[in-house]
Amino acid sequence: MNSSDLDSPTRLPRQVEFTNAPLRLRIASVLRDAILEGDLRPGAPLTETALAEQLEVSRAPVREAIRILAKEGLIDSEPYRGSRVRTLDRRDVEEVYSLRGLHESFAVERIVQGSAPDGLDDLTEICERMRRHADAGDMRAVSAEDERFHRRMIELADHTLLASIWAQLSLRVRQIMSLRNLQIEDPHRVAENHVLIVEALRSKQLDVALERVRDHVREGTQLVIDGWSDPS
């Protein structure tokens, strides 16, 4: 398997540290990226044989990679029937975002209760970078920092199981983001929202922090849902 398979243009330069990880993980990574970037559209069939040929590996690791992604919720598999990229309807979007809100709220509670005041500095840093990118009009970079912000926030909750569930949700969120039609969000407003959350966390105002996180998620949900077109 050599890179630049599965997709003609640029792909898979990052994460070269995978060099001698098990093949299944590398393949899973390739497929995951393809799905999250929207190169593999929902409903697209993933047949083991075809993928194995394209990637020039045997079916075994491809098969395992597909299973991995199935467990991550990015792929639907049916015994003896094959696998397809999972399709997302409005209900799926609502479910993902509602649970996202739930878990972020939980994280906020734990952060306010717990100590770890220095970890908040990381969040502030991310906010600053986000604002700089917003000034530069680099929406892509803003999104990247956005994701980093929330992941770091979850980490600060110091809860392994929460983090692992969050990781799954986060994948789904990314898939949704890659599919939504329009992304008309004011980057400066986004950056400001995050600053407000950090401030509330820092001053340990639980209610305020919860309110702001919920607003933030609600806002994102609304934006995505509004522009959503179901695969009907």
Partner DNA sequence: GAACCGTTGATTGTCGACAATCGACTGTCA
Partner DNA sequence: TGACAGTCGATTGTCGACAATCAACGGTTC
Which of the stretches 2-10, 22-30, 136-144, 181-189 binds DNA when contact is defined by CB under 7 A? 22-30
Q: Does residue 21 belong to the site contacting a copy of itself (CB under 8 A)?
A: yes
Quick one: what does residue 95 bind among a copy of itself, DNA, none, with the CB cut-off 5 to 8 Å set by partner type? a copy of itself
# residues near a copy of itself by CB under 8 A: 26
Q: Does residue 165 belong to the site contacting a copy of itself (CB under 8 A)?
A: yes
Q: Does residue 82 belong to the site contacting DNA (CB under 7 A)?
A: yes
Q: In the complex, what is the shortest distance from the CB of residue 227 to DNA, in angstroms, rounded to a whole number?
A: 32
Separation in Å, CA 152 to CA 9, 46, 145 = 31, 33, 10
The backbone region for 139, taken as left when phi is positive above 0, alpha when psi lies in -120 to 50, beta otherwise, is alpha
Sign of CA dihedral 18, 48, 34, 162: negative
Quick one: what does residue 187 bind among a copy of itself, DNA, none, with the CB cut-off 5 to 8 Å set by partner type? none
Which of the stretches 92-100, 115-123, 126-134, 195-203 binds a copy of itself when contact is defined by CB under 8 A? 92-100
Q: In the complex, what is the shortest distance from the CB of residue 8 to DNA, in angstroms, rounded to a whole number?
A: 21
Question: Which residue, 92 or 145, has its beta carbon nearer to a copy of itself?
Answer: 92
Candidate list 54, 58, 178, 203; residue touching DNA; CB under 7 A: 58
Cβ-based neighbour number of residue 199 at 10 Å: 16
Candidate list 5, 39, 64, 147; residue touching DNA; CB under 7 A: 64
Q: Residue 165: is it exposed, middle or buried by C-beta count within 10 angstroms (0-12/13-18/19+)?
A: middle
Q: What is the DSSP letter of 37?
A: T
H helices, E strands: number in the chain: 9, 3
What string marks each residue from 93 to 122 as x (binds a copy of itself by CB under 8 A) or -?
A: --xx-xx--xx--x----------------
Question: Which residue, 83 or 143, has its beta carbon nearer to DNA?
Answer: 83
Which stretch of DSSP H or E encloses residue 19? none
Closest CA to 170 of 97, 121, 226, 116: 97
- For residues 106 and 127, what is the distance between their CA atoms, to the nearest angstrom? 21
- For residues 23 and 94, what is the distance between their CA atoms, to the nearest angstrom? 34
Separation in Å, CA 107 to CA 54, 206, 213 = 42, 11, 10
Residue numbers at the binding site for a copy of itself (CB under 8 A)? 21-22, 25, 60, 64, 67-68, 71, 73, 79-80, 91-92, 95-96, 98-99, 102-103, 106, 159-162, 164-165
Which residues in this chain contact DNA in the complex, by CB under 7 A? 20, 22-24, 45-50, 57-61, 63-64, 79-83
